[in-house]
Every structure is written in structure tokens, then in C-alpha cells.
């Protein structure tokens, strides 16, 4: 029986990819994919509000970090966690060497702007994966429908969870020494 374009294929029926196969495929693909446990997940487009918030954060970090040893990256560069690859909305790394040209393994800050279709994954499995990165100091989960950020910060014992909400609030990012008013983030 021929497969129809709208048929859903269960993940277990799909081939699993190695990291090298994934990277080769991703370099040639017109669609970006994340790789989790050997399976590809296509990245869908974002809303304009999602893009504005991620852009505001990127711009603020770019200006703040200019001339220093840290660099901010947007959603077109991957972060590798073990054999999995993700496209965070924004991340910062502070390393002397460039590393791989297509992915990084040592972010100090990662931010995800929550979307209805991805927020469960961003708060769950992706959060746990990111927390396994020894260099990661802060993980931001940014709401797009209200001025609200959940900030997970590495402490001596575990991860602290801070919720910052309200249009007049200020976000303090210790990992990069930036204080960012919500008026600039949610503008």
C-alpha cells in the first residue's frame, strides 16, 4: 500500500541516526531538525512575538558582550548534549577556542522562548538535557504572551528556580553580568 503524504509514521518505524549521519544530513537539508535519541524532529517556524523576544534578548546580549570573551548565538547554531542536538533560541558561550563550526558544547546561558507546541519539551526533557552540560550556569524559559521568565540557575547543590514576572521587573543574568529590564525584553 503506498504511503500518503498526510500519514503519520510512528517514531519506532523510522531509522535512527548517528551524530555523524545527522550532521551530514543537516548540512544539506533546507529544514532544520533537532536530533534526540537518534530521531529527527523538524523545527517549525516561530510566531512574530516569539521572534521579537528572542531578537531583543540577542541584541541586548550582543551589545553587552561586545569586546569581551563571550559570544551570543541565535537559533541557527546547534548545541550538542551527548549525542543529541538542539537549536536554542539564544545561547552564550565563553570559550577561548571556536570549537566546531556547526555546533557548540559549552554554553553558559541558554534561553528558550516558549511556544504552545514546544513549551512542554522546553520545560521537560530539553531542560534536563541542558542541565547535564557542565558549563551551563543559567537556563531561561521566556513566556511570549506575558512578561514572565522562569530562570533556572546552577547553585552549589542543585538548580535554583526563580520566577520573574511583571512588566516593571528586571532580569539579572549572573552568568554574563547583565541586568535587563523587562521593558527591553518584551518591547
Q: Is position 74 within any domain?
A: yes
Q: Is position 61 within any domain?
A: yes
Q: Is position 162 within any domain?
A: yes
The three three-digit cell numbers of residue 118, written as one number: 514546544
Q: Is position 133 within any domain?
A: yes
Helix (H) or strand (E) holding 55: helix 48-65
Q: Are 103 and 80 in contact (CB under 8 A)?
A: yes
Q: Is position 122 within any domain?
A: yes
Q: Is position 1 within any domain?
A: no
The one-digit pLDDT tens for each residue of the chain (187 residues) are 444 454 555 656 678 999 999 999 999 998 899 999 998 888 877 889 999 999 999 999 999 999 999 999 999 999 999 999 999 999 999 988 888 999 999 999 999 999 876 777 677 688 889 999 999 999 999 999 999 999 999 998 899 999 999 999 999 999 999 999 999 999 8
Q: What is the residue range of 64's domain?
A: 46-185
Please report, in angstroms and rounded to a whole number, the separation of the first and last CA atoms in the chain.
Answer: 52
Q: Is position 177 within any domain?
A: yes
The residues, ordered by sequence, that sit 6+ positions from 72 with a Cβ below 8 Å of its Cβ are 58, 61, 62, 65, 90, 91, 92
CATH number at residue 68: 3.90.1570.10
Q: Is position 25 within any domain?
A: no
pTM of the model: 0.88
- Give the Cα separation of 172 and 181 in Å (integer): 9
Q: Are 167 and 182 in contact (CB under 8 A)?
A: yes
Number of structural domains (the chain) is: 1
Amino acid at each position: 500500500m503506498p504511503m500518503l503524504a498526510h500519514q503519520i509514521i510512528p517514531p519506532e518505524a523510522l531509522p535512527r541516526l548517528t551524530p555523524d549521519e545527522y550532521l551530514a544530513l543537516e548540512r544539506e537539508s533546507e529544514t532544520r531538525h533537532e536530533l534526540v535519541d537518534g530521531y529527527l524532529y523538524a523545527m517549525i517556524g516561530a510566531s512574530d512575538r516569539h521572534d521579537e523576544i528572542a531578537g531583543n534578548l540577542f541584541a541586548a546580549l550582543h551589545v553587552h558582550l561586545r569586546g569581551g570573551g563571550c559570544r551570543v548565538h541565535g537559533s541557527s547554531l546547534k548545541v550538542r548534549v551527548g549525542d543529541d542536538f538542539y537549536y536554542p533560541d539564544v545561547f552564550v558561550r565563553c570559550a577561548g577556542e571556536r570549537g566546531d563550526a556547526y555546533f557548540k558544547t559549552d554554553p553558559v546561558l541558554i534561553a528558550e522562548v516558549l511556544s504552545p507546541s514546544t513549551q512542554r519539551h522546553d520545560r521537560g526533557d530539553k531542560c534536563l538535557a541542558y542541565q547535564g552540560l557542565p558549563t551551563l550556569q543559567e537556563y531561561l524559559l521566556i513566556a511570549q504572551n506575558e512578561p514572565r521568565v522562569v530562570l533556572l540557575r546552577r547553585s552549589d547543590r542543585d538548580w535554583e528556580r526563580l520566577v520573574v514576572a511583571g512588566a516593571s521587573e528586571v532580569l539579572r543574568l549572573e552568568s554574563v553580568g547583565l541586568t535587563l529590564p523587562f521593558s527591553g525584553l518584551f518591547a
